[in-house]
Amino acid sequence: EPIERESNTIDDVINGVTFSLKQQMDDGTVLNAVVSPDTEIAANAITQFADVYNEFRLFAAKQQQLGDDGLPTEEAVLANESLMRTLISQMSSEVTRVVAGITGGNPERLADIGVNCSNFAGDEENPATKNIMTIDIDKLSSALEANFDGVRGVFEFTMTSNNPNLSVFERNNSLGVSNFTIF
């Protein structure tokens, strides 16, 4: 079906896709378009994810900070909270684990795409903090350009089923398999 617009920018044909027409086409010309993911938006989102994670790690370090007397500082109001320690441990485990079910040479962990954890020595405002995320932007950009869907798989759970009656409401990695048959 022909598309006619008053402008060279068309953004109402495919949701989330903008076509910028650069030259006049003859009537009847068929135009094939290839839609590529915006790797810059993805890299920025991954960087923002790391920034938020790092804010959590710094908050957690402040909550566990000890003074010169070996006791929690006045700001460390959650120092003895087991829930806080459990949350810190689980978060560290999640960001460093291998994602189950990824095959075919696709990235399996954040480190595969240039997102690593390292220790922060601390400064005037923040205490020493373990497992701060750092991003090798060149490695991340290369991974996104070469295998966008593979990078996406490190962050996103996917499930396919040949039965529309099967739904996943909650998941964890305790099953240890990614392919199974239910009778």
Residue range 83-130, pLDDT digits in tens: 888 988 888 888 888 887 788 889 999 999 999 999 999 898 888 898
Please give the pLDDT value at position 115. 96
**Would you place residue 172 in the very low, low, confident or very high pLDDT band (cuts 50, 70, 90)?**
low
pTM, two decimals, is 0.73
What is the rounded distance in angstroms from the CA atom of residue 79 to the CA atom of residue 62?
9
pLDDT digits (tens, 9 = 90+) for 145-163: 999 999 999 998 777 778 8
